[in-house]
Chains A and B, each alone.
Chain A
Amino acid sequence: MSPLSLVGVSHKNGALEAREKLAVVSAQRVFDELRREGVREAVILSTCNRFEVYLFDEKERARGWAVELLERVSGGAVREQAYLMEGDAAVAHLFSVASGLESLVVGETEILGQVKTAYEQAKAAGMTGKRSNVMFQRALFTGKKVRNDTAIAVGPTSVATVAVQLAESIFGSLAKSEVLILGAGAMAELTARHMLSKKVAKLTISNRTWERGRALAESLRAASLPWEQFESGLESADIVIASTGSDRPVVRRQAVAAAMTRRAGRSLFLIDIAMPRDVEETVHGLDHVYLYRLQDLEAIVARNLSARGGEIAAARALAGAKARELGAWLKSLAAGQELSLKHSDAANG
């Protein structure tokens, strides 16, 4: 029996209720429980999509004792959805998780940071040893390598990130860009927050109902512009996000053309995420004006996702190969004849 085992629940098995219960369990609580059972080496990976315990343990135990442990700390039933893996299968799973192959959005990079945090947490709690150190460092290294060597993480996969990336393809850094948001609804707010996270130079909100627009502007520490004046705002804004509930276009070709004559050739990026449309289509025909509609952004997201899909096989092969290396190393260690891993690689984790 391999000393390495894994017990967990994830989005793949549904298990929403079990995940919710486990999500609020602190790693410390699990570590305490494991110590009581005599386990000295364990790492707990807890994200909104998965809760996994990787542990090294020499004792003979009844199959499923770890599941019971999970039930004990969460106070809920996880038996039905939990998966148990041992040895090579557990290593392969960890490397696949770190590579983003088990994520909802394949190739996403957030999981890599979460694996790192999980490992560091265990290390700080004194719950790691040689095997878990090397295993997690190799997993992190593999996660990076897979994203570098394959196109699995290429291209943004949400409408908001696609919009930001396009803006960067037009203006470069957005640090000098001014953003004008038309509307104060949920979509407008979401996009505004995303733009703020990019540290734009100025964010202005213009809404047909002044009070609502100003309230949103205040909560985001943005400027607000009376609706009657938004057309003059087109002169200084670089990025305009239109998201009003108007049933007819509010941004007219004439107004944009007039603004462009005063922009000295600077580009203007218009993002129309309203339904029905807020910006007249003919605006796109003007020089230096780029109008993207919600459907355009969604089409780019879909293309990026399907391109990632084509890379999954290559990514799996790479993650699998690295997992087998580590599996062989673990066995060699147990047999007292340690194989050498490329340490320069492991140190990158």
Chain B
Amino acid sequence: MMMQMMLIKSALALYAAATGMALTYLFSKDDKWSLWMLRLLGIGVLCHLGSFGARQYLFWQIPENRWFFSINSFFGALSFLALAVAAAFFVIEREHRLGILGAFVLPCAALGTGAAVIFADPATRGLPPALQSYWMNIHPMVLMAAYAMFGNAFGVGLALLIQEHQIKSRKPSELCYRLPSIEELDNLNYKIIVAAFPILTAGIIMGGVWAYEAWGRFWGWDAKETWSLVTALLYAGYLHMRLVRGLRGRKAVYVSMLAFASVIFTFFGVNYLSDLHGYLSARG
């Protein structure tokens, strides 16, 4: 337990420091800040993985939990999600050389980890029989991978709104020349969402299959189910508008941000509404 908390707190500190580097890099053109951001982030991800490993060890001390991933609790899920956001950023940033976007994405990873440390209960308990399924290792993981990608798209969208505003204002600050172009941000936002959408859809369908096996029905309008459907429909709406209607730029980003708000609500808000998926009601 101590190990787990020590490591996740180190990860939190490193994410916060990496965010600080990212913000500094936003206003200073020295590449060393970007480099340090990546280094700190990399070590942070490793600490976070370590923390997750330590948690897994504790989790498996309880016999019925053996070989299931420990992401059924609020702490486990939030910690995993923040880890996924940081790791996804690491991959996307290195691919596209857009360290500047760290200022918009890394705060999500730091806030997620911070919320887990401060608000969630890290204790590990035995899995209820309904969750003792191999789906436990697939369904939430797949969805959270999609959420992490959407989190990155949100950061990209935020950067686009700032860039668009800069240029529309006719008084661009230095930031304007540091950020990627509107077209690049628009394309990246789209590319991330178009890659994450099938993952989200697959995750939801898997949930349905699991629900059929566990509860005998594919879909039951549980709050989590309903809101995940809303999320999927909003992202589908974004893709439709962009591909069919040619809606791009600022307004397209508004739609994708609305969809991300739905992600956040599905993840956090639904805990208070859902009987079956509530991390906090401890029944799910």
Residue of B166, B179, B183, B249 contacting most chain A CB atoms (<10 Å): B183
Evaluate contact between A267 and B246: CB separation under 8 angstroms: no
Evaluate contact between B181 and A155: CB separation under 8 angstroms: no
Determine if B71 is an interface residue (Cβ-Cβ < 8 Å): no
Determine if A292 is an interface residue (Cβ-Cβ < 8 Å): yes
Cα distance A171–B184 when bound, in Å?
Answer: 7
Residue of A whose beta carbon sits closest to that of B180:
A172
Evaluate contact between A171 and B177: CB separation under 8 angstroms: no
Main secondary structure of the interface of B (DSSP, over half): helix
Evaluate contact between B248 and A265: CB separation under 8 angstroms: yes
Cα distance A155–B30 when bound, in Å?
Answer: 15
Choice from B171, B176, B184 contacting A299 with Cβ under 8 Å: B171
Evaluate contact between A170 and B181: CB separation under 8 angstroms: yes
Residue of A whose beta carbon sits closest to that of B182:
A170
Residue of B167, B171, B252 contacting most chain A CB atoms (<10 Å): B167
Evaluate contact between A290 and B167: CB separation under 8 angstroms: yes
Determine if B29 is an interface residue (Cβ-Cβ < 8 Å): yes
- Give the chain A neighbours of B30 by CB distance below 8 A: 148-149
Determine if A287 is an interface residue (Cβ-Cβ < 8 Å): yes
Known: A166-B172, A296-B170. A172 touches B248 (CB 8 A): no
Cα distance A267–B181 when bound, in Å?
Answer: 11
Residue of A whose beta carbon sits closest to that of B178:
A169
Choice from B174, B181, B250, B252 contacting A168 with Cβ under 8 Å: B181
Evaluate contact between A267 and B174: CB separation under 8 angstroms: no
Determine if A154 is an interface residue (Cβ-Cβ < 8 Å): yes
Cα distance A299–B169 when bound, in Å?
Answer: 13
Determine if A312 is an interface residue (Cβ-Cβ < 8 Å): no
Determine if B283 is an interface residue (Cβ-Cβ < 8 Å): no
State the interface size on chain A (CB cutoff 8 A).
25
Determine if B262 is an interface residue (Cβ-Cβ < 8 Å): no
Write the B149-186 contact mask toward A (1 if CB under 8 angstroms, else 0).
00000000000000100111011101011011111100
Evaluate contact between A172 and B174: CB separation under 8 angstroms: no
Known: A296-B170, A299-B171. A169 touches B179 (CB 8 A): yes
Evaluate contact between B249 and A265: CB separation under 8 angstroms: yes
Evaluate contact between B170 and A169: CB separation under 8 angstroms: no
Cα distance A41–B157 when bound, in Å?
Answer: 59
Determine if A47 is an interface residue (Cβ-Cβ < 8 Å): no
Residue of A whose beta carbon sits closest to that of B173:
A303
- Give the chain B neighbours of A72 by CB distance below 8 A: none
Determine if B217 is an interface residue (Cβ-Cβ < 8 Å): no
Residue of B whose beta carbon sits closest to that of A264:
B246
- Give the chain A neighbours of B171 by CB distance below 8 A: 299-300
Residue of A148, A165, A166, A265 contacting most chain B CB atoms (<10 Å): A265
Determine if B247 is an interface residue (Cβ-Cβ < 8 Å): yes
Cα distance A172–B186 when bound, in Å?
Answer: 11
Please give me the 10 A-B residue pairs with the lowest Cβ-Cβ distance, nearest first. Answer: A265-B248, A264-B246, A172-B181, A265-B246, A172-B184, A296-B170, A170-B182, A171-B183, A169-B176, A169-B181
